Structure 1
């Protein structure tokens, strides 16, 4: 059985109580809140021959689904993590949709993450979304719905999936990581932006140890004890998106402190003094310029662009090391010419 997360209870009651379902749903929300599990739970119920609140788990359809051999199930996802969903994969889906359900009842397609489809793949899916054959239901799961084509989104019933409350997240993570201290779990949730499943994954990936190395490296960089190139090489095992998430968050915290002088907005304790120092010593236009650059590069990372990691990190650290210092006087018209 698919895990039923407590923060999805009210949404599931609405779905399970429907006599009829739309032909396509777009489940969207932050990563790590259980959207995939919710889609699989709905898939199981739609395919079940004797559904109640959930799939029965005992009928022929449920047993085939559990074995991964149900002929009415189609999963569309990248062949490799962080790769695109190809147009020929979508064509296989279109062929599946056109076929008659072998066991009768529904056929269900699950696409995750939907934003992994490129433009050609998305366009190839449009007709199946608009006029799916028979009783086919398509479930699209997206962590970044802004990257989807408007024409694709307009053909789906869009369902926002809520971020769990702090209480739900803390309770669930405590049951998943009972051996971890409460303050460490709280720190993981902050690093995961409140998403408990991301927090669990980050724990397994050793993110707290990675964060400690990155913070120590930033401090050495600002003290000129380590250069950008050497430091970039030492972070070779830290995920690129994670690094850009942190530096983006830190740039925002510096700007926020420059405007409000509110220390509570400086984030976790490990970087508070560093960020406060940078806020006091860095001209705001320079911080804004660095933030803009970081956001642009982060978008490239999200888009899976072919980036030179060492050079990109070295450029990031050069921007960061250049933040503190007196504001440069504006160039005279003579110099500018």
Structure 2
């Protein structure tokens, strides 16, 4: 499992947790709020391990019986709440797994820790059931709510929990991690970092994804030759990329970063600011062909395409209009 020292970024949250542990000011309830892949589960696990570690230090020792149990996912005093319905945590889930067991004292440690992933999926009834427990918890209880959108939780729950917001991680830290720990080459680390937008989990996922590389190559090939393509070829291209519907946001992000590169190079001639360094020949050619207004129009059209696809507008129609805008500019 490692230690807090291995976590990239989130130093303010780690310092806060260290202080809470060392000064014996551990709260009964925390909300860890951040997008998917931001590190909520890792921080929650490390916090739980540290609270139960037999060495009682600011970090889990990773050697004691408690740490080994936690690392294997078999610690009796760390309970992770699960739910059968993919998008709903029901009142029964909370009652059975939390409310009905929280009065049973810890089996071996000083704390009994409940981790609730996807806590923003709790129904109102489930949240109200949990609220009663948060209002009058046993002294040994610690409840960790992991959310992507804390605003979906009741104000009464938010007000009774310590809010820990996971911020975006600096690009240079993500790129350094990918290159040093995953041995990703410089140009690929740059692309994954640009796509991750401060999200370490997403950066790691992209770096390890052959499918992402496939999508990237498809998009780049289209961008290289779209200005020479006939309308029928564009329609065929749309039909071909329909297999990427589930990852269409990634596909559009690739195009967006490509044109941001074009805009950046056109304005500055600075190669260091280009993400697609391995495609610099084509970036330079596009910068010469396109006007500033044309590039801005393409970037605006990409945002519109994302919005329309989210609203379930016809996929082929949205993509054909987008590609025609790109071809004409």
- Corresponding residue for 2:186? 182
1:51 CA displacement = 1.5
- Corresponding residue for 2:71? 66
- In the alignment of these two chains, the number of paired residues is 309
1:30 CA displacement = 4.3
Instruction: Give, in whole Å, the separation in 1 of the partners of 2:65 and 2:305.
Output: 55
Instruction: Give, in whole Å, the separation in 1 of the partners of 2:106 and 2:295.
Output: 64
Which residues of structure 1 form unaligned runs of 5+? 301-306, 327-337
Structure 1 SS opposite 2:233: coil
Which one of the candidate residues 192, 196, 199 is aligned to 1:192? 196
- Corresponding residue for 2:34? 29
- Is 1:234 equivalent to 2:241 in the alignment? yes
Which one of the candidate residues 104, 116, 136 is aligned to 1:99? 104
Q: Which moved further from structure 2: 229-238 or 46-55?
A: 229-238
Which one of the candidate residues 10, 14, 17 is aligned to 2:16? 14
- Corresponding residue for 1:110? 115
Instruction: Give, in whole Å, the separation in 2 of the partners of 1:278 and 1:122.
Output: 53
Kindly report which structure 2 residues correspond to 1:1-337, keeping only aligned pairs within 5 A, or say none. 1-3=1-3, 4-9=6-11, 11-18=13-20, 19-77=24-82, 83-87=86-90, 88-91=92-95, 92-178=97-183, 180-206=184-210, 207-217=212-222, 223=229, 224-228=231-235, 231-237=238-244, 239-240=246-247, 242-243=249-250, 246=253, 249=256, 262=267, 268=276, 273=286, 277=290, 280-281=293-294, 291-292=303-304, 294-295=306-307, 297-298=309-310, 312-321=314-323, 323=325
User: Which has a greater percent of helix?
Assistant: 2
Preserved CA contact (<8 Å) 1:290 1:319: no
1:169 CA displacement = 1.9
What TM-score results when the alignment is normalised by the length of structure 1? Answer: 0.72
1:175 CA displacement = 1.8
The CA deviation string for residues 300-322 of structure 1, in whole angstroms up to 9 with x for no partner, is 6xxxxxx7xxx753243134145
The CA deviation string for residues 26-54 of structure 1, in whole angstroms up to 9 with x for no partner, is 12234434232111100111222331111
Preserved CA contact (<8 Å) 2:114 2:143: yes
Instruction: Give, in whole Å, the separation in 2 of the partners of 1:153 and 1:114.
Output: 12
What TM-score results when the alignment is normalised by the length of structure 2? Answer: 0.73
Instruction: Give, in whole Å, the separation in 2 of the partners of 1:210 and 1:252.
Output: 17
Instruction: Give, in whole Å, the separation in 2 of the partners of 1:168 and 1:281.
Output: 34
Q: Which moved further from structure 2: 263-272 or 35-44?
A: 263-272
Instruction: Give, in whole Å, the separation in 1 of the partners of 2:180 and 2:88.
Output: 35
1:204 CA displacement = 1.6
Which residues of structure 2 form unaligned runs of 5+? none
The CA deviation string for residues 87-139 of structure 1, in whole angstroms up to 9 with x for no partner, is 03333233233433222521111122333435454444333333333421111
1:205 CA displacement = 1.7
